[in-house]
């Protein structure tokens, strides 16, 4: 980790730039993949799955029996853990329901905002050696709570039975296709994979690029994704052993992850760095963590307030407040995905089981984006209902504005109604 | 208008395809414009403004005095109309405030979802002969209600004083730059135009393409935009004169607009078509309307229910229910931007003054997107706070899941805390 001392003239948005390696080749090949799938559907998916996963797939959808039998391949302790996590996520997201809004903006003019669920959502679950159970829960449980009718999970073959088990809990259909081709399939639909209303989920550079490209075609996505990141603000009351463990839990995600420690206390910084050196040695993913630490910073500041100022500029995905009274600073936090309050709230709690969603904005997107929440699975429709009295009230206002914008037919539609009413009376 | 009779085997998503002319040249030149502005800032804006608007601009920001004096150039009737519209929009969007959510998901584990305003939003207001006052109100008023600190309006020179007046009412800063270059400026910031957190507003093909391209870079936009459209469902109680006027009010928007009439009643269809032929002759924008009517359809169905089924497939931006008891069908409507209930609720009411937002999803995007509403100007942050008791409750669950995902450091961060606590007790 690079250690520095705060100066007012430091440009932190420059200094703490995320380590991005932009690859134009990825953009082009993803464009090609999307076009192939859009035009050729399943046959393109078969070729691409053969090419990228080295597997011949006849039927992409995992049959119910295979899904059902998955429960025999999951240990009891893990099942219990999944149940607790799912229940906490369910509780927190259920509480996020909002009610429709109806207002009479003036006599005879009633307006209504209605929240409607998205009928069919697509959830991408990355493959690899470790089954990302938490991804299924963090997307599938809120989708169920929102009332989405169909959950479509795409995940590269071969699919781990633990993933199938988690999918069975949220009632998702599972299709064994991964990568950019899976995103394209959900965006446009194929003979076997239905087109979805919105696409959620993490993935590698190809998946992320594919999500951005289909979003530019109007298919909504959860949030733009990037390498994971954590910023910890620690005062003298912080416990270096914990802070080090939290920083490492983020650093082990990937070589391109970034962690930042900001403290008003030199000894906390030094002890944390020592602890990191101790703890990292015992990690199976030590090399990944060490690489991530190269892009990482420890910053000495004068006050916690200044630390939060810097954090707001950085807009971290995860922010830990390892300080004496974190609640004091809660409202000062302007830009962050999810905040972890106090010494006994590790980031991994939010990654798995506290109940908050772990699908969060990275790369500074927290300035504009929030993480996935219940409303991410809904859309709105507005209604208005105007009585004859109402249009007589409001009519002249509409005509005046329509004429100012030189839209005569807009004015006519109102005038005709007003005339008919005045003729009647 | 093309008139057809419903058959169950008609593929309406094919038949009612929106008239889109996709132009790859636009994509490329917009890419170039964005890159120029990102790298060269104001100097690029000056060159592009000279090129596209034929105007030399030294200072892009309109000074306060010019904005203040604009009020002397707006007629009293128009001022009164603007006031009424602004008040209705303000009332409906104020009612959309939602409260933060706090839940104890289990003993000692508290989770919180907080809504935060976007600090600085960018509003694009198209230029042209007619001043789009309604655009300023539909975006500026909700932004003020949400509490956004800074409203940045970009609009091509020369700026109509009526636009400046409307901007003064919502306290927006106005910059005289238009087109794709304005979108790029707001997305990345220049020496004089500040980077915004989200970009709103309609525009021509270049503006729309620019919005899609910056959204693919992670800068959020309101909704993907396309040509405007209206679908009217009319039963025997409809008034053909009104229906015709409503269809024309949409058709006059642009040659690429589309209108669809669906009715269970042949005489209503025929009388409406006659009325259209009468009314269109008196429109200044007759030729535009006639062109739009070429892409438009009148469909005879058996029942209103079937009409709504077709409408849900089409997912119209605007839907008028010109039927006896529209409320009967309210919950059947799954996909639509904004719905207009009954014979005395013309679409132009929602375009200007009923209070609902006129920034709505077109091109079938209403399947996935809602229109602009108060929450469009907010983001969410989550907080979690776990007590020592809480982490002892939840710890094993987290460790189990972290181990299943082979993220050892994630498990360590929890174990260390649990060990410390058990040593203490």
For residue A330, what is the nearest residue in chain B, using CA coordinates? Answer: B383
B333 contacts in chain A (CB < 8 Å) = 381
How many residues belong to chain A?
425
Phi, psi of A385 (to 5 degrees): -135, 120
> Across the interface, which of A198, A249, A371 has its CB nearest the CB of B413?
A249
Are B293 and B255 spatial neighbours (Cβ–Cβ below 8 Å)? Answer: no
Is 3.40.50.1980 the CATH number for B24-99+114-224? yes
Tell which A residues from 16 to 55 touch B, by Cβ distance under 8 Å. Answer: none
Q: Do B349 and A132 touch (CB under 8 A)?
A: no
Looking at residue A227, its pLDDT comes to 87
Active-site residue (options: A209, A275, A317, A347): A317
Contact A338 B387 (CB under 8 A): no
CB contact under 8 A, B384 and A119: no
pLDDT at position A376 is 98
Q: Does B354 touch chain A (CB under 8 A)?
A: yes
CA distance A56 to chain B (A): 27
CB-based contact (8 Å) between A296 and chain B?
no
The active-site residue, picked from A252, A318, A347, A358, is: A318
**Residue A410 falls in the annotated catalytic set:** no
User: Tokens at residue B138, please?
Assistant: 């539909």
Chain A residues close to B344, C-beta within 8 Å? 386-388, 390-391, 417
- A 10 A CB-CB count for A42 gives 17
How many Å lie between the alpha carbon of B62 and the closest alpha carbon of chain A? 22
Q: Compute the nearest-CA separation of B131 from chain A (Å).
A: 6
Q: Do B404 and A371 touch (CB under 8 A)?
A: no
pLDDT of residue B234: 98
This prediction has a pTM of 0.96
Q: Do B404 and A355 touch (CB under 8 A)?
A: no
- CA distance to A224, A272, B43, B206, per residue, from B28 (Å): 23, 50, 21, 10
- Residue A205: burial class (beta carbons within 10 Å; 0-12, 13-18, 19+): middle
Contact criterion met (CB < 8 Å) for B285 and A409: yes
CA B380 to chain centre: 19
Residues of A (121-140) whose Cβ lies below 8 Å from B? 129-134
Whether residue B382 and residue A371 make contact (CB cut-off 8 A), yes or no, is yes
**Cβ contact A283–B354 (<8 Å):** no
Q: pLDDT tens for chain A, 425 residues: list them.
A: 999 999 999 999 889 988 766 678 899 999 999 999 999 999 999 999 999 999 999 999 999 999 999 999 999 999 999 999 999 999 999 999 999 999 999 999 999 999 999 999 999 999 987 899 999 999 999 999 999 999 999 999 999 999 999 999 999 999 999 999 999 999 999 999 999 999 999 999 999 999 999 998 889 999 988 888 999 999 999 999 999 999 999 999 888 889 999 999 999 999 999 999 999 999 999 999 999 999 899 999 999 999 999 999 999 999 999 999 999 999 999 999 999 999 999 999 999 999 999 999 999 999 999 999 999 999 999 999 999 999 999 999 999 999 999 999 999 999 999 999 999 87
- Disruptive mutation site among A352, A363, A372 for chain B (greatest number of B CBs within 10 Å): A352
A345 closest CB neighbour out of B132, B251, B386: B386
Question: Å from A17 to nearest chain B CA?
Answer: 15
pLDDT for residue A225: 82
Encode pLDDT of B368-417 as tens digits.
999 999 999 999 999 999 999 999 999 999 999 999 999 999 999 999 99
Could you tell me if B200 lies within 8 Å of chain A, comparing CB atoms?
A: no
φ/ψ of A195, rounded to 5, equals -65, 135
What topology does CATH give the domain A2-19+227-355? Rossmann fold (3.40.50)
Q: Do B352 and A398 touch (CB under 8 A)?
A: yes
Cβ contact A340–B130 (<8 Å): no
Task: Give A237-286 pLDDT, tens digit per residue.
Answer: 999 999 999 999 999 988 888 999 999 999 999 999 999 999 999 999 99
- Give the A:B interface size as CB pairs under 8 Å: 416
* 3-class DSSP state of A387: coil
Output the DSSP codes for A3-18: EEE--TT--HHHHT--
- Pull the structure tokens for residue B178: 């238009």
Contact B365/A408, CB-based, under 8 Å? Answer: no
Q: Which of A370, A356, A377 is nearest to A137 (CA)?
A: A356
Is residue A318 among the annotated active site residues?
yes
Q: pLDDT at position B225, please?
A: 82
Which of B85, B98, B409 lies closest to A248 in CB terms? Answer: B409
Which residues from chain A sit within 8 angstroms of residue B385, using beta carbons? 326-327, 341-342, 345
8 Å CB contact of B111 and A356: yes
Look at A404 and B242 and tell me if their CB atoms are within 8 Å: no
Q: Considering CB atoms only, which of A349, A386, A398 is closest to B384? A: A349
A409 and B251: CB-CB below 8 Å?
Answer: yes
* A255 contacts chain B (CB < 8 A): no
Tokens standing for residue B164 = 């400046």
What parts of chain B have a pLDDT lower than 50?
none
The verdict on A73 touching B (C-beta cutoff 8 Å) is no
ipTM of this complex: 0.96
Q: Please give the residue of chain A at the shortest CA–CA distance from B354.
A: A109
- State residue B21's pLDDT score: 62
Q: Which of B88, B92, B133 sits opposite A405 (nearest CB)?
A: B133
CB-closest option in B105, B132, B249 to A410:
B249
How many CB atoms neighbour CB A110 within 10 A? 21
Within chain B, all domains assigned CATH 3.40.50.1980 are found at: 2-19+227-355, 24-99+114-224
- Look at residue B226 in the predicted model and tell me its pLDDT: 83
Q: How is residue B380 written in tokens?
A: 């969410």
Min CA distance, B58 vs chain A (Å)?
Answer: 29
Picking from B92, B131, B398, the nearest residue to A348 by CB comes out as: B398
CB of A277 less than 8 A from some CB of B: no
Q: How far does the CA of residue A276 sit from the closest CA of chain B (Å)?
A: 11
């Amino acid at each position: 980790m690079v250690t520095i001392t705060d100066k007012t003239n430091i440009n932190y948005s420059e200094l703490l730039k995320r380590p991005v390696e932009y690859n134009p080749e990825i953009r082009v090949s993803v464009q090609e993949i999307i076009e192939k799938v859009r035009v050729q559907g399943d046959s393109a998916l078969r070729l691409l799955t053969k090419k990228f996963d080295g597997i011949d797939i006849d039927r992409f959808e995992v049959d119910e029996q295979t899904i059902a039998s998955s429960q025999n391949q999951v240990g009891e302790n893990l099942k219990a853990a999944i149940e607790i996590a799912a229940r906490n996520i369910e509780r927190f997201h259920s509480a996020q329901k909002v009610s429709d809004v109806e207002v009479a903006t003036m006599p005879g003019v009633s307006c209504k905002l209605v929240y409607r669920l998205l009928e069919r959502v697509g959830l991408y679950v990355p493959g690899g050696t470790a089954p990302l159970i938490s991804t299924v829960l963090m997307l599938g449980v809120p989708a169920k709570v929102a009332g989405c009718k169909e959950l479509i999970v795409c995940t590269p073959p071969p699919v781990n039975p633990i993933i199938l088990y988690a999918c069975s809990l949220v009632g998702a259909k599972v299709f064994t296709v991964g990568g950019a081709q899976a995103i394209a399939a959900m965006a446009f639909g194929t003979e076997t994979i239905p087109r979805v209303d919105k696409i959620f989920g993490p993935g590698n550079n190809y998946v992320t690029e594919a999500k951005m490209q289909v979003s530019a075609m109007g298919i909504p996505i959860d949030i733009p994704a990037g390498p994971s990141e954590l910023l910890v603000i620690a005062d003298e009351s912080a416990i270096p052993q914990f802070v080090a463990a939290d920083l490492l839990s983020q650093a082990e995600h990937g070589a391109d992850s970034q962690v930042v420690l900001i403290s008003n206390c030199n000894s906390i910084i030094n002890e944390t760095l020592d602890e990191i050196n101790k703890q990292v040695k015992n990690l199976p993913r030590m090399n990944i963590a060490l690489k991530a630490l190269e892009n990482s910073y420890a910053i000495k500041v004068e006050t916690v307030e200044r630390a939060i100022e810097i954090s707001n500029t950085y807009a971290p995905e995860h922010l830990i407040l390892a300080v004496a009274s974190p609640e004091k600073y809660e409202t000062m936090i302007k830009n962050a995905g999810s905040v972890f309050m106090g010494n006994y709230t590790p980031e991994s709690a939010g990654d798995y089981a506290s109940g908050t969603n772990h699908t969060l904005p990275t790369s500074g997107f927290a300035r504009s984006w929030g993480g996935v929440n219940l409303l991410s699975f809904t859309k709105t429709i507005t209604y208005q209902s105007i009585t004859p009295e109402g249009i007589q009230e409001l009519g002249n206002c509409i005509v005046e504005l329509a004429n100012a914008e030189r839209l005569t037919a807009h004015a006519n539609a109102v005038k005709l109604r007003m005339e008919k009413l005045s003729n009647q009376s």
